[in-house]
Amino acid sequence: MNSPVICPRCAFETVDKLATSPVPGVWDVLQCGQCLYTWRTIEPARRTQRDAYPEQFRMTLADIENAIEVPAVPPLRTTG
Amino acid sequence: MAYDDLRSFLATLEKEGQLLRITEEVLPEPDLAAAANATGRIGENAPALYFDNVTGFTDARIAMNVHGSWANHALALGLPKNTPVKEQVETFAARWDAFPVAPERREDAPWRENTQEGPDVDLFSMLPLFRLNDGDGGFYLDKAAVVSRDPEDPDDFGKQNVGTYRIQVIGADRLAFQPVPMHDIAQHLRKAEEKGEDLPIAITLGNDPVITVVAGMPMAYDQSEYEMAGALRGAPAPIATAPLTGFDVPWGSEVVIEGVIESRTRQIEGPFGEFTGHYSGGRRMPVIRVDRVSYRTDPVFESLYLGMPWTEVDYLVGPNTCVPLLKQLRAEFPEVQAVNAMYTHGLMVIISTAKRYGGFAKAVGMRAMTTPHGLGYVAQVILVDEDVDPFNLPQVLWSMSAKVNPKDDVVIIPNLSVLELAPAAQPAGITSKMIIDATTPVSPDVRGNFSTPAKDLPETKEWAAKLQKLIASRG
């Protein structure tokens, strides 16, 4: 792998390894530190490479910050 | 025949020719999902799939499409695999009348064989996790029975909920999940979060086939899914006590994951290709911290492909959505003959009904929209006559083509509630709803020219049964 790993979905540059294949050296499972997108390194390019990642599934920091809460956090209920 | 665990059901599926073992090496992505996706495209009696040779894994065991055909659904209920759909739904409805059947508590649950706890929890080490659809945010647990209790009434067995929700694995011991506000667990979570408390949760994977059916079934808030499973199985549902939460969980599960939904926390989750045939999310969803995992030795990981219908989820939640609506409608309108709510979990429903008087069918349609499930789902209702089989779509379309006068028989009501995932809602959670009355008008609603209908010959029913028997005996 020549270029540094970035998130295919949001282009964030901090990517963590969540898991590695039980058969050594076959694949890793990576996760973006920003959008939590998770992928296996041997998945098709459309899921693993920023250039090939489909436009409609891309996500920006604004998308993440402005995403609605489901369900909304309710108001704290004070006793009494 | 009642199955106490997934493995015994898989054995029956295999014996009945309804389980296909894929022995060649397959890629975790995209092969597993693509194969399960394909089962929905090769006919309505497709088999379950079993994989145990997956690239990079040493001991993966993955079952998919377990409920994904009418044959498999019939076998799950202990019926012959060629039972017609209408009969499967009628049998389901008849067994419902035995509700509640008390469960049987057992102490020797096979998932007690192995444990991961605290910092040792690593879901990736135990489960062969994989992605389903291209745009999914990650790997999902999408066929679990999730158990939670009402924090204000934790000892009420009926209010303990067993439901199915989408759950994204966002860490070795962390999950994000989606409780739709209409669902029971959202009520549990709201009560806990109003007090600033975490909500304990138990997530069970690889369950017996009827637990999975009831977990996806729209039941009343205080009705026990375990007591319904007993009614549908014709035998008490075996349950056991989960070690950390003390919750009642299925005895026969492959894996029991316990932890808490962290109070008042939301984190980005999704998107996920949903049962609506569209992606939903990403949204900021609740987060689960996993504290303990119990699992059978060599657990079978059961997953379900869903996407553009029909897929396994449509077979799974089809009949179990029809029956509650049928029961609730018949309670007040005994004229209702049958309910087909098999399209997108009941966003569209077809009801056959006799008419008490002119205008009656439209009233039945409006009632369907105000049932507990209808409030969040039923957006279109087609009413057909009592002698039309609502599961026979050519007959339904005949009714629409021959009996509907659009000006009088199509009613649109604006701004009603629907679940937020409904793709056509605008804004999310709000939609107009439509009734199409394709029944024959009766007095005093005197319209059209329907005086001389052609009916099936009196002997036809007998011949249909005879032909089915002959076909079945042919093997």
A80 pLDDT higher than 60: no
B474 pLDDT higher than 90: no
The per-residue DSSP string of B249-260 comes to EETT-SEEEEEE
Q: Please, which pLDDT band fits residue A79 given cuts at 50, 70 and 90?
A: low
Q: How far apart are the C-alpha atoms of B135 and B279, rounded to whole Å?
A: 8
pTM of the model: 0.94
Q: Which residues are registered as beta bridge partners of B239?
A: B105, B250
In Å, how far is B38's CA from the nearest CA of chain A?
Answer: 19
Chain A contact for B125, CB < 8 A? Answer: yes
Mark residue A25 as left, alpha or beta (left: phi above 0; alpha: psi -120 to 50; beta: remaining). left
Q: What are the phi and psi torsion angles at B124 (to 5°)? A: -70, -30
pLDDT at A4: 76
Q: What are the phi and psi torsion angles at B8 (to 5°)? A: -70, -35
Average pLDDT over every residue of B392-399: 97
Q: pLDDT digits over A22-36, tens only?
A: 999 999 999 999 999
The sign one gets for the Cα dihedral B161, B162, B163, B165 is positive
Q: pLDDT digits over B342-386, tens only?
A: 999 999 999 999 999 999 999 999 999 999 999 999 999 999 999
Chain A contact for B197, CB < 8 A? Answer: no
Classify burial at B452, counting beta carbons within 10 Å of its beta carbon; exposed 0-12, middle 13-18, buried 19 or more. exposed
Q: Considering only residues 36 to 55 of chain A, which have any Cβ-Cβ distance to chain B shorter than 8 Å?
A: 36-40, 42-44, 46-47, 54
Q: pLDDT digits over B113-127, tens only?
A: 999 999 999 999 999
DSSP secondary-structure letter at B357? S
Q: Which residue has the tokens 């665990």?
A: B5
B182 pLDDT higher than 70: yes
Percent of chain B with pLDDT over 90: 93
B85 pLDDT higher than 80: yes
What radius of gyration, in Å, describes the C-alpha atoms of chain A? 17
- B386 as an active site residue: the answer is no
In Å, how far is A31's CA from the nearest CA of chain B?
Answer: 8
Q: pLDDT digits over B235-255, tens only?
A: 999 999 999 999 999 999 999
Judging contacts by C-beta atoms under 8 Å, the chain B residues touching residue A64 are 268, 282
pLDDT at A1: 47
Of B323, B320, B369, the closest CA to residue B347 belongs to B369
- Take residue B215 and report the two structure tokens written for it: 């977990």
B166 pLDDT higher than 60: yes
B29-35 LR contacts (CB < 8 Å, sep 24+) = B29/A40, B29/A42, B29/A43, B29/A44, B29/A47, B29/B130, B29/B131, B30/A43, B30/A44, B30/B131, B32/B62, B32/B64, B32/B130, B32/B303, B33/B130, B33/B131, B33/B132, B33/B133, B33/B305, B35/B64
Q: Mean pLDDT over all residues of chain B?
A: 96
Q: Across the interface, do A69 and B271 touch by the CB < 8 Å criterion?
A: no
Q: How far apart are the C-alpha atoms of B323 and B296, rounded to whole Å?
A: 33
Average pLDDT over every residue of A6-21: 97
Q: How far apart are the C-alpha atoms of B430 and B392, rounded to whole Å?
A: 30
Chain A contact for B174, CB < 8 A? Answer: no
